[in-house]
Amino acid sequence: MATLTYVYSDSTAVVGPLASFAEPHSYDLCEEHAVRLTVPRGWEVMRHAGEFPAPIPHADDLEALADAVREAARVEPAPVDATDTTTGRRGHLRLVPPAK
């Protein structure tokens, strides 16, 4: 993983190791895209010399992921009403009838 940061005032794109915090004009990239990045004519690319190590998961990240999975598991789908033909409701999708 890598972080791409645009420095508009210098017409420069900087590709370096994954940042530990978010900044304006910064975007996280996979290694493949970090290596293949091209910039507009007149711009310069500064690349980190070396490998882009995989991020080390923090306990907070793992806890947030676990909480999200638990929350998703608690949501129960609405029961399907086979007799409701006006809206065509099936599971979480709904067919909206045309305006009259």
List, for residues 20-38, the tens digit of each pLDDT value.
777 888 899 888 888 889 9
pTM: 0.50
Which residue type sits at 99? A
Helices and strands: H and E segment counts in the chain: 2, 4
Q: How far apart are CA 40 and CA 60, in angstroms?
A: 38
Residue 29 contacts residue 55 (beta carbons within 8 Å): no
Q: How confident is the model at residue 13 (pLDDT cuts 50, 70, 90)?
A: very high
* pLDDT of 52 higher than 60: yes
Higher pLDDT, 43 or 22: 43
